[in-house]
Amino acid sequence: MSAPPPVLFDRTLLRTRLNRAANLPQFAGFLRDRAAEDAVERLLTILRQFPLCVEFGRKDGAFARALTASPGAGAIETLIETDLSHAFAVRAPIGVVVDEERLPFRAEAFDLAVSILSLHWTNDLVGALVQIRRILKPDGLFIGALFTGSTLTELRQCLLRAEDEVTGGAAPRVAPFADGPDLAGLAQRAGFTLPVVDIDRICVRYDHPLKLLADLRAMGETSILMDHARRPIRRAVLARAFDIYLDQFSDKDGRIRATFEISTFTGWAPHPDQQKPLRPGSAKARLADALGTTETRLD
């Protein structure tokens, strides 16, 4: 029997941070808008209907807004919007408080499932994907957008260096993110077929690192690492991290850079009528002929 995955994230703290973000005067939703619009563009290329859709991590409702701006995308008749935060969930026409790590829905209930910048906070990403696949009807579609890879790499480097300089040791202060190219393999492990992954790297510029931290707070995306929650960062460490950030990651105009990497993947619940990969050796044309090269055998 395999050991359970390590608990990296404090999901109770995540709910608190999301509720706080929901009650701020303005939610920082520009990255969610971008990811939601990309998800809707994918639906526009799929000529089929998805009568019942569920979204995980609705937050400010970016996906619903993107659907409204693109009538007919996926022909969605009913959208159920869920969120770990009650403050966000109650704002939806059909809103439900749901923890992505423990889905309450019956098997094969939905035609489409969507998650916009939410699943990167799950302690067991493959386990969450397995649950999503189970609630999809055969040939149902999942579209997921996650922060991956190089997201906040500048902030991560600055905090590690600053804490090491000030205290003589460093603990991770920025969450680890899955590698974007690995998502297709994770989706296959969860039972999805025909996975496709696209990676969008965005450079956001700020006047000062404090502005970046304010945006992360207003997104509900500040760290919920278990170790971080037990060891609050010292002011001296933060001040030194700001100095390093301004020195190492600023442009000529003095503004700093922050990288966000959004990986969006699609996967389908298995169905007998889906196209299958060809068996090895069953090709009817040679790649060498198509490329106009000479084939070399490897013995």
Give per-residue pLDDT as tens, 57-97: 999 999 999 999 987 666 899 999 999 999 999 999 999 99
CB 119 within 8 A of CB 93: no
**Token digits for 76?**
């969605």
Inter-axis angle of helices 153-167 and 209-219, to 10 degrees?
110
Give per-residue pLDDT as tens, 202-214: 999 999 999 999 9
Domains, the chain: 11-155+175-210+259-291 (3.40.50.150)
In this prediction, residue 110 carries a pLDDT of 98
Question: What band does 274 get if pLDDT is binned at 50, 70 and 90?
Answer: confident
In this prediction, residue 61 carries a pLDDT of 97
pTM of the model: 0.89
> Which DSSP string corresponds to 189-230?
HTT-EEEEEEEEEEEEEESSHHHHHHHHHHHT-S--BHHHHH
SS3 166: helix
**Cβ contacts of 173 within 8 Å, gap of 6 or more:** 156, 159, 160, 163, 223, 225, 228, 233
Give me the amino acid identity at 99: D
Give per-residue pLDDT as tens, 136-170: 999 999 999 999 999 999 999 999 999 999 999 88
**Of residues 3 and 247, more confidently modeled:** 247
